[in-house]
Amino acid sequence: MNNFDVFPKKSLLFAPMEGITDEPYRIALMKTFPEWDQFFTDFLRVPTVGKITEKMIIEHYGERILKREEWRKKNSFQILTTERAQTKAVVEILESLKMDHLDLNLGCPSKKVNSHHGGAYLLSNHTALKFVLKTIRENFTGHFTVKMRIGYRDDVNFSDSLKLIQDEGVEAITLHARTRDQLYKGVADWSYIKRAVEEVKIPLIGNGDIWIAEDIEKIFKETKCHSVMFGRSAMKTPWLAKIYKEYVNEGGHIDDTYWLYQRKHHLEIYFEALLAEYREVGWQDNLILKRFKSFSRNLYDDYDDFETIRGSFLRSESLAEYLDRLYALKG
């Protein structure tokens, strides 16, 4: 495709997150907080050996999403692959399914992934990276984007990586403003996002330490990025896109008490939507409880006694107990 029209300007994108953004999660969020402009599957790890099937691809993306055009438009398929993996076979299936958008993971910092020469590692090996990019672009006519970091060990290849990615037909880049070795430490350096905006001719999507509505406004102003992607901040505040759009409508001002008010109001809505979707796909209560606990890390940070509150949720011995604590929290 010659023109990038997947995301409107200033889109708010819910990042791909391993073990989180599966089909029921994405459907729950689309129904409950439709202010998000785009969602991504967690990455599909492309295997080196074994049979690739259409069924495997559809299950990862979500059959219900595949069947509804309005949902398809808001969902992108992400893969994590290597030079030796069966990239072409996967991409050919995505092409046959007429998938609108494919995203390549060039940012995963996992030691295991990088030791197998995938994720952020590819930023340090441009020969392998070029092979992967070319394989995808030559076999996929839908929109093709990448999500990357500023480098692997350091930023020495930063500009060259941007140029290579652009030259191989990628239509937009999401940049997490840390190296792989930085993991999530320190503060993301948005100056790299600004620099990338100036160096490439394709849309640049900013990512990293964008926690509140004011941060969104700030990154747009400071970097001139096309759109913004949210990972950990979206997990902390799954209704962040809603808050930002209200913030814009209110002329750039939200009262300090608004955040806690929103949290009290939306936590129950969030978990009830997830509960409905997990039960729709047949999950048992113990599995749902385990998933709910995994979501509890930062959800309660706006409360004065957030550590005590979070601890009480993590100690819940049943899904019913977890939900009782949730309803009591609303006051």
What is the 8-class DSSP label of residue 42?
P
What is the predicted pLDDT for the residue at 1?
43
Domain span including residue 318? 258-330
Does residue 312 share a domain with residue 189? no
Residue 246 lies in a domain: no
What percent of the chain stands above pLDDT 70? 97
Distance in angstroms (rounded) separating the CA atoms of residues 118 and 38: 24
Last residue of a domain, one of 203, 236, 269: 236
What is the number of domains present in the chain?
2
Does residue 265 share a domain with residue 224? no
Does residue 314 share a domain with residue 185? no
Q: Is it the case that residue 84 has pLDDT exceeding 50?
A: yes
Q: Is it the case that residue 283 has pLDDT exceeding 50?
A: yes
Does residue 93 share a domain with residue 45? yes
Residue 223 lies in a domain: yes
What percent of the chain stands above pLDDT 90? 80
Does residue 156 share a domain with residue 100? yes
Q: Provide the token pair at 15.
A: 């990042």
Any catalytic annotation for residue 108? yes
Does residue 230 share a domain with residue 271? no
Residue 5 lies in a domain: no
End-to-end CA distance of the chain: 52
Give the Å distances, CA to CA, from 302 to 72, 230, 236, 240, 293: 34, 18, 10, 14, 17
Residue of 28, 29, 99, 108 marked catalytic: 108
Look up residue 132 and give its amino acid: V
* Residue range 16-29, pLDDT digits in tens: 999 999 999 999 99
What is the predicted pLDDT for the residue at 114?
79
Q: Which of 180, 166, 183, 174 is nearest to 104 (CA)?
A: 174
CATH number, position 85: 3.20.20.70
Quickly tell me which residue has 């008490």 as its tokens: 257
Does residue 275 share a domain with residue 206? no
Residue 287 lies in a domain: yes
Q: Is it the case that residue 220 has pLDDT exceeding 70?
A: yes
